[in-house]
């Protein structure tokens, strides 16, 4: 089912859409970005739907103002699916954080679904197989093809009827408050800085196996890749991936006489000039004086205390039993860090459990009675 939709790529159509949206309490929203194809991610489409209307807003048209769009979202509930990335995009690119969200992927997991992609859920609830062939398309391309526009509109078509079905099921299971709290928690977490932001971003996975001279080469190669990705408007991994950078840094550290012919197999799109540049970087890194080599590793925090293995295993068994009773994934009930923290506080009072282990209220409601009743 592809709903009727209107492409909003002119100021007049944008004004009309905003005039309708301002009176709606709930708005279905989906975004398409271009992070798989370009150096810096952009929001390339906003699919917006309310009863009787579906718009595909092209934010590239002259006169688009994201502040006017997000202004009509304020005070309303946004209905989305798998929205963690969309929330971070809106925060970083539009400086906007919704007031309330409803994420159907979160709701699906709390109903026990192990496959909770939009396509999986639409097929389960409505017997319709969505065309997901454009999922990795470059949404920055203009003009957008008819199939791409139809794909974008289809992503909003089933959200509202699916919400109605899920809401009834969650109420029946007594989990609607869990779903609401979980969505509020997701919204809060989306406002925190991403975990991968760090002081020395060139310290990519695998850097720990390198010696200091190899780290000096890795830093040079990483900086070159960033410049190349920016110049070519590509995501860095499409220039050369992290694993290959670490391999080069390990195998060619200190090679002051490196020539193009010495290099291993490199990506096919690397021409002679690029290969010569890699060899030049390797030679240059070999000339860096030792006092300028990076430290072997950043200072590590003191490791947290470990719980008694028997206590941890007992709580792990409690979690498994709850998973079977509730038909839920174990990570929904407690992640590994949460389970470790619960084990450390398993002989504490309820107040100490709450202060020692960050959880949602519905999770406390499941765990605290079980922890307290298991004590000798």
Query: Can you give the CATH number for the domain in which 230 is found?
Result: 1.10.150.80
The count of structural domains within the chain is 3
Residue 251 and residue 179 in one domain: no
In a domain, 223, yes or no: yes
* 183 in Cβ contact with 103 (< 8 Å): yes
Same domain? 356 vs 216: no
* 77, 215: one domain: no
Count the neighbouring beta carbons within 10 Å of the beta carbon of residue 376: 3
Of the residues 235, 262, 292, which one is the last residue of a structural domain? 292
pLDDT tier, 376 (very low <50, low <70, confident <90, very high otherwise): very low
pLDDT at 16 > cutoff 70: yes
At 87, the pLDDT band (50, 70, 90 cuts) reads very high
Q: How does DSSP assign 311-358, residue by residue?
A: HHHHHHHHHHHHHHHHT--HHHH--HHHHHHHHHTTTS-HHHHHHHS-
Strand partners, 47: 30, 56
Domain-embedded: residue 298: no
The arithmetic mean of pLDDT across residues 198-217, rounded, is: 93
* Per-residue pLDDT at 219: 97
The tokens for 210 are 């390198």
242: helix, coil or strand? helix
Residue at 202 is within a domain: no
Shared-domain flag, residues 357 and 287: no
Q: Are strands 100-103 and 43-50 parallel, antiparallel or unpaired?
A: unpaired
CATH number at residue 87: 3.30.420.10
- In the predicted structure, residue 274 carries a pLDDT above the cut 90: yes
The residue-averaged pLDDT of 27-31 equals: 98
Is residue 198 very low, low, confident or very high in pLDDT (cuts 50, 70, 90)? low
Phi, psi of 235 (to 5 degrees): -65, 140
Domain boundary among 241, 260, 292: 292
211 and 143 within one domain: no
Task: Give all strands (DSSP E) within the chain, no chain letters.
Answer: 6-8, 26-33, 43-50, 53-57, 77-80, 100-103
Residue 132 banded pLDDT, cuts 50, 70, 90:
confident
What residues contact residue 89 under an 8 Å CB cut-off, 6+ apart? Answer: 31, 33, 41, 43
Helices 212-232 + 242-251 axis angle, to 10:
140
Does residue 320 share a domain with residue 172? no
What's residue 348's pLDDT? 73
How many contiguous H segments (helices) and E segments (strands) does the chain have? 17, 6
Alpha-carbon distance of 48 to 244, in angstroms, equals 41
Q: Flag whether pLDDT at 1 surpasses 90.
A: no
Whether residues 98 and 228 share a domain: the answer is no
Residue 34: which of 227, 240, 235, 239 has the closest Cα? 235
Q: Residue 248 is encoded by which pair of tokens? A: 């080069």
Q: Where are the beta strands (DSSP E) in 86-213?
A: 100-103
113 assigned to some structural domain: yes
- Residue 241 gets the label, from left (phi > 0), alpha (psi -120 to 50) or beta, of beta
Q: Which of 161, 189, 217 is the last residue of a domain?
A: 189
**Mean pLDDT calculated for residue range 279-303:** 88
pLDDT above 90 coverage of the chain, percent: 85
Which class for 286: exposed (0-12), middle (13-18), buried (19 or more C-beta within 10 A)?
A: middle
Average pLDDT of span 95-120: 97
Give yes or no: residues 219 and 323 share one domain. Answer: no
Distance CA 360, CA 357 (A): 10
Residue 334 inside a domain? The answer is yes
**Residue at 66 is within a domain:** yes
> 170 and 115 in one domain?
yes
Whether residue 228 sits in one domain with residue 79: no
198 lies in a domain?
Answer: no
Q: Which residue has the higher pLDDT, 156 or 133?
A: 156
Q: Which domain holds residue 265?
A: 207-292
Whether pLDDT at 196 is above 60: no
Q: Please indicate, yes or no, whether residues 183 and 324 belong to a single structural domain of this protein.
A: no
What pLDDT is stored for residue 2 in this prediction? 65
pTM reported for the whole predicted model: 0.86
- Across 226-245, average pLDDT: 96
Q: Is residue 347 part of a domain?
A: yes
Cβ distance 79 to 27 under 8 Å? Answer: yes
Q: Which of the two residues, 348 and 229, has the higher pLDDT score?
A: 229
Residue 265: phi and psi, rounded to 5, are -60, 130
Say what the pLDDT of residue 191 is.
87
Q: Are 29 and 166 members of one domain?
A: yes
- Asked if residues 41 and 35 have their Cβ atoms less than 8 Å apart, the reply is yes
Q: Taking 70 as the threshold, does the pLDDT of residue 299 lie above it?
A: no
Rounded average pLDDT over 4-24 = 96
């Amino acid at each position: 089912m592809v709903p009727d939709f209107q492409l909003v790529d002119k100021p007049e159509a944008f004004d009309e859409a905003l005039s309708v949206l301002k009176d709606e309490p709930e708005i279905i929203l989906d975004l398409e970005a271009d992070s798989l194809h370009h150096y810096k991610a952009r929001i390339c489409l906003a699919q917006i739907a309310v009863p009787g209307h579906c718009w595909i807003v092209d934010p590239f048209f002259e006169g688009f103002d994201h502040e006017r769009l997000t202004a009509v979202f304020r005070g309303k509930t946004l209905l989305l699916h798998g929205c963690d990335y969309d929330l971070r995009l809106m925060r970083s690119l539009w400086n906007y954080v919704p007031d309330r969200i409803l994420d159907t992927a979160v709701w699906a997991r709390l109903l026990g679904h192990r496959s909770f992609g939009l396509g999986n859920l639409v097929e389960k609830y409505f017997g319709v197989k969505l065309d997901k062939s454009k999922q990795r398309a470059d949404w920055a391309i203009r003009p957008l093809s008819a199939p791409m526009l139809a794909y974008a509109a289809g992503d909003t078509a089933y959200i509202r009827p699916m919400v109605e079905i899920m809401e009834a099921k969650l109420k029946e299971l007594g989990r609607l408050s869990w779903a609401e709290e979980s969505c509020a928690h997701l919204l809060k977490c989306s406002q925190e800085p991403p975990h991968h932001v760090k002081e020395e971003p060139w310290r990519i996975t695998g850097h720990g196996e390198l010696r200091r001279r190899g780290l000096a080469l890795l830093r040079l190669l990483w900086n070159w890749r960033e410049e190349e990705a920016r110049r070519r408007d590509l995501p860095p991994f499409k220039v050369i991936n992290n694993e290959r950078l670490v391999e080069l840094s390990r195998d060619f550290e200190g090679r002051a006489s490196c020539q193009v012919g010495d290099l291993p197999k490199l990506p096919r799109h690397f021409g002679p000039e690029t290969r010569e540049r890699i060899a030049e970087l390797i030679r240059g890194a070999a000339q860096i004086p030792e006092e300028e080599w990076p430290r072997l590793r950043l200072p590590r925090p003191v490791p947290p205390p470990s719980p008694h293995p028997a206590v941890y295993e007992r709580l792990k068994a409690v979690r498994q039993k709850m998973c079977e009773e509730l038909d839920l994934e174990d990570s929904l009930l407690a992640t590994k860090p949460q389970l470790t923290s619960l084990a450390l506080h398993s002989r504490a009072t309820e107040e100490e459990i709450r202060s020692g282990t960050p959880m949602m209220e519905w999770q406390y409601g499941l765990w605290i009675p079980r922890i307290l009743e298991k004590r000798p």
